[in-house]
Amino acid sequence: MEELIQGVAKFQNEVYPGKEAAFRKLANGQNPDVLFITCADSRIDPGMLTQTQPGDLFICRNAGNVVPPHSNQTGGMTASIEFAVAALGVSHIVVCGHSDCGAMKGAIDPSALEELPHVKEWLGHCRAAREVVKERHGHIDKCHLDEVSKENVLLQLQHLRTHAAVAAKLASGKVRLHGWIYNIASGEVECYNEERQQFELMDSAYSHLFAEHGVAV
């Protein structure tokens, strides 16, 4: 806790003064272009990973970067997605999973979660990802962690499409969906290529964008 308090003091004394104008502008509203859905894992820092500034990302975090399918029961994720898409008008939605995900370990072995009943129930939203990998190999264990993490990202993208606000904007071409996997050890990000139906390193998956901005790949 001491580190947090010292961090706030450093922010107020050293960081804020140099960005005061930007923060005063943000005090009157936000206009993010991206809804960034990722895991609550403490090792994930969306701002650092994407090198964005306050106000650039509308961030939703939970165990397993889960997007529950739309239902008539309102939840925090459902409300946040609706607000980001219908009220803020974001143009892109990123679902970002990551390496060594504890939630995915739980999804692989639900029996290990008997003492965490709410976590077990929550990760029911990941069950189809587990079953896809199990069907592919005939069994499933911890060696399939990375594969389950990727399938889970794809599953949550499917769930996103069931949300009315997202479906409407997808139909009009006003929103694009992106599936990412962040490797904590290497810093690499793999992105799902819809055309090739596979995850690729970011510079390959978004080569057209790199070319447009004159970035060598």
**CA–CA dist 53, 62 (Å, integer):** 21
Write the DSSP assignment of 160-189 as a string of letters. Answer: HTTSHHHHHHHHTT--EEEEEEE-TTT--E
pLDDT tens column, 173-199? 999 999 999 999 999 999 999 999 999
Residue 49 CA to its chain's centroid (Å) = 12
Q: Any binding-site annotation on 98?
A: yes
Confidence of residue 206 (pLDDT cuts 50, 70, 90): confident
- 39 assigned ligand-binding residue: yes
List the domain boundaries for the chain. Answer: 1-30, 32-212
- In this prediction, residue 205 has a pLDDT band, given cuts at 50, 70 and 90, of confident
Share of the chain above pLDDT 70, in %: 95
List pLDDT tens digits, range 16-69: 999 999 999 999 999 999 999 999 999 999 999 999 999 999 999 999 999 999
User: Of all helices (H) and strands (E), which one includes residue 148?
Assistant: helix 145-160
pLDDT band at 217 (very low <50, low <70, confident <90, very high): very low
CB 140 within 8 A of CB 148: yes
Does 191 count as an annotated binding residue?
Answer: no
Is CATH 3.40.1050.10 what the domain over 32-212 is classified as, yes or no?
Answer: yes
Question: What is the rounded distance in angstroms from the CA atom of residue 104 to the CA atom of residue 98?
Answer: 10
**41 marked as binding residue:** yes
At residue 135, the 3 state secondary structure works out as: helix
What pTM was estimated for this model as a whole? 0.93
Per-residue pLDDT tens for 99-114? 999 999 999 999 999 9
